[in-house]
Amino acid sequence: MNASQFEAAGLADIYEKVAAEERLSFEDGVRLFRSRHIGLVGKLAHLVRQRKNGNRAYYVRNQHINFTNVCSKRCRFCSFYAKKDGPEAYTLTMEEVEHRIRQFAHLPITEIHMVAGVHPKLPYTYYTDLLDTVKRTRPDAIIKAFTMIELEQIQKVSEMPLEETIQDLKAHGLGALPGGGVEVLSKRIHQELFGRKMDGEGWLNIARVAHGQGLKSNASLLYGHLETDEERVDHFIQLRELQDETGGFLCFIPLAFHAERTELEGIPPTTGNLDLRMIAVSRLMLDNFPHIKSFWIMIGPVMAQLALRYGADDIDGTIMEYEITREKIEQTHQELSRDQLADLIREAGCEAVERDSFYNPVRELALV
Ligand code: V47
């Protein structure tokens, strides 16, 4: 890489740190967000991405199940939640969960991903039955389920200490935790947008306990609403510090905000520049995270593909149904085939690797 390009762009010191594998500071992160040279920021991130993951880009054959939209938290950024007795409220029965899984029995899915609203009235047995049902119907798949926010509620209804709840959920088949629920680790944004939900400190504490109990998790950042560059960088640094302590995070996912049907309707969609910059700056700041995901549902397959040259090494998966964000209310079916995912990756010049939830390469499984 040509150091003089970075010199001319005022990024020579950051380039030198990245080349020497030195940790970037808060100020570096803010400068990367504000630099006019997105191409160079991307080049730096690509350097780190290649160092950590070579030319590989991962995808996963997964199925998402959003098992209830009932939620007591009423976050202002959310278009998914429904009040308990409202007309749109749903909670899947075990028969419905089984039916959804059987619908895709012909595909060798390796991960069932489940996140949902925080239902105030579901008993603990709902969650254990849910895990049992998935495990029975898809015994080979890893179950990645429940954000830290949902875990807080599950612990409450389990009436056990968090450590015991987690061990019990693991005994019922829970394999890993998704990255949502954290939103932005900022007191200001917490108060403005999701005050009924546990704050950042609470989220980090549950993540710490979960990692200590042997559960790996992801982490995310919801961006493109009210947050500042400083708040984004502070978020990265708080995650980086916890990762130094536990080593429990597998992957970071910037989640682009979609304002349709939320209380924040009117906030414009994120731009290509911001989507790529979030990927690149997260790759550069989160030096102890093995993977950065460009989640195609949020930024579209086109941007997710470009992001593979800006620091991302994962475009996630086949998905099937996604109810949290969708263009039209009735459009819950959102799917890319394994071939489409692999083609996107190869066209970007990377080696397509099918992974499981823990980034182990998957051998071709016999069709079920
Ligand atoms: O925490 C809610 C986000 C998250 C909106 O671990 C919204 O691989 C955009 O956990 N616009 C839940 N985003 C989803 C989640 C997840 C998603 C993908 C991959 C993984 C992973 C985990 O969805 C919430 C929130 O940040 N969300 N509403 C919205 N209007």
pLDDT tens, residue by residue, 262-305: 999 999 999 999 999 999 999 999 999 999 999 999 999 999 99
pLDDT at 364: 58
If you measure from the C-alpha of residue 351 to the centroid of ligand 1, how many angstroms do you get, rounded to a whole number?
Answer: 27
Residues shown for the chain: 368
If you measure from the C-alpha of residue 324 to the centroid of ligand 1, how many angstroms do you get, rounded to a whole number?
Answer: 7
**pTM beyond cutoff 0.85:** yes
If you measure from the C-alpha of residue 50 to the centroid of ligand 1, how many angstroms do you get, rounded to a whole number?
Answer: 27
For ligand 1, which residues put their CB under 6 angstroms from it?
77-80, 115, 147, 178-181, 183, 218, 220, 222, 253, 255, 257-258, 262, 295, 324-325
User: Under a CB-based contact definition with an 8 Å cutoff, are residues 157 and 123 in contact?
Assistant: yes
Best substitution site from 65, 73, 184, 220 to test ligand 1's pocket, by max atoms within 8 Å of Cβ? 220
Best substitution site from 68, 189, 203, 222 to test ligand 1's pocket, by max atoms within 8 Å of Cβ? 222
If you measure from the C-alpha of residue 133 to the centroid of ligand 1, how many angstroms do you get, rounded to a whole number?
Answer: 24
Domains recognised in the chain with CATH numbers: 54-354 (3.20.20.70)
- pLDDT, average across residues 139-150: 97
Bridge partners of residue 334, in order along the sequence: 320
Exposed/middle/buried for 231, CB within 10 Å: 0-12, 13-18, 19+?
middle
pLDDT at 368: 36
User: Which tokens belong to 327?
Assistant: 């263009």
Q: How confident is the model at residue 366 (pLDDT cuts 50, 70, 90)?
A: very low
Can you tell me the distance from the alpha carbon of 43 to that of 340, in angstroms, rounded to the nearest whole number?
26
Q: Which long-range contacts (CB under 8 A, 24 or more apart) does 298-302 make?
A: 298/255, 298/256, 298/258, 298/325, 299/256, 299/270, 299/275, 301/336, 301/340, 301/344
